[in-house]
Structure 1
C-alpha cells in the first residue's frame, strides 16, 4: 500500500498481516481522489477517517494538502500501523489516532470535519444508524462530504443525504452531503 499523489506520492503506508482489516484498493482510492480533486481543494481541509484500518485514505488526503486527519479504529494492529506511518512521514502533529468504537466516538465527539471517510466492515449490521449518527450533529461542515465504502448490493439512494455512488466490482462508494 502506498500514497498515490501529492507531497508523499510513492511513500509506503504501514500495514500488518491482519485479515480483520480490509484496506481500500488502489484502483478505488485513485478513482475516489480523482473525483475529490475535481470537486474540492484539499488545502486546509479537516478529515475524519472512520474504520480507518491502516489509514490509507486519510494519509492520501494529508499528502494532497489536508490540514489534519482524525483516524478512528479499534484494531490494535491498525492503530500501531497508523502511528508508525505518521511518525515515518513526520505527520504526527497533523494526525490524531483514536482507539474507539466508531458509534461511541460519533456519540461523543465535538469536532467538525470537511471530509469524512467511512469504511465499515461489509458485514456491518446497521448502516442506517451509522449514517444517522454522522448527520445528527455538527460533525460535518455545511459543505462537507461523506464517502462510505460498502458492498455493492447496498443502496442508500433513499437517504435524504444521498448524493451519488460509484461501483467498483463488488465495492460501492456512496457520497453523502447535507
Structure 2
C-alpha cells in the first residue's frame, strides 16, 4: 500500500502477509479522500478508524495532518503493526485492540470523522448495528461524518442519517451525517 497525499505522499508501507485484512485499494482510497477534502480541513480533525486492519486509512489521515487518530482493531497483529509503523513514521495514531462492537458501545468521545471498514462477510444486521451504534453513542460530532466501506451486496443507504454513497467496483463508501437530516427538514418548510 502507498500513502497518496500529504507529508508522506508516495511512501510505500508493506504489511506482513499473515494479517487478516483486505486493504482499501489505492483508487478507492484516492476517491474517498477527494470527497473528504471537499468537506473538511484535515489539520483540525479527530479521526476514529474502526476495523483499521493495516492502518491504511489512518496513515492517510495522519499524512494529511489530522489532529489525532484512534485506530481500533480486534487483531493484535494488526494493532502491533500500526503501532510499529506509526512510531517509525512519527504519526499521531493511537492503535487500540478491542472488539469494535464493544468499543462502540462503551467509548465516550466523539470524532469529526468515523471511518469503518468491517469485513465484507459481515451480515446486514452487523453493518446496521455498527452505524446505529455510532450515532446512538454519539461517536460522531454534530458537523462530522461517518463513512462505512462495504460490499455492493450489503446496502445500508436506508439507515437514518444517510447522506450519499459512492460505488467503486465491488466496493461502496456510504456516508452518514447528522446535519443531512436537519437540512432535509429545512427543505420541507
TM range (shorter): over 0.9
Does residue 117 of structure 1 match 2:115? Answer: yes
Paired residues in the alignment total 176
In structure 2, distance between residues paired with 1:63 and 1:137: 28
Contact persistence 2:42–2:61 (CA under 8 A) = yes
Listed as ranges, the gaps of 5+ residues in structure 1 are: none
Contact persistence 1:14–1:81 (CA under 8 A) = no
The 5 A counterparts of 1:1-178 are 1-18=1-18, 20-91=20-91, 94-125=92-123, 126-178=126-178
Contact persistence 1:14–1:85 (CA under 8 A) = no
In structure 2, distance between residues paired with 1:105 and 1:14: 27
Q: TM-score with structure 2 length normalisation?
A: 0.89
- 2:115 partner SS: strand
In structure 2, distance between residues paired with 1:103 and 1:157: 20
Contact persistence 1:145–1:176 (CA under 8 A) = yes
Post-superposition offset of 1:14: 4.2
In the TM superposition, structure 1's runs of 4+ consecutive aligned residues that sit over 6 Å from their partners are: none
Contact persistence 1:47–1:113 (CA under 8 A) = yes
**Which of these two proteins has the greater Rg computed from alpha carbons?**
2
Indicate the structure whose relative CO is greater, using CA pairs within 8 Å and at least 6 residues apart. 1
Post-superposition offset of 1:90: 1.1
Pairwise CA RMSD: 1.2
In structure 2, distance between residues paired with 1:152 and 1:158: 14
- Quickly say closer, same or farther: Cα 1:19–1:65, change in 2 above 3 A: closer
In structure 2, distance between residues paired with 1:76 and 1:138: 26
Higher percent of residues as helix: 2
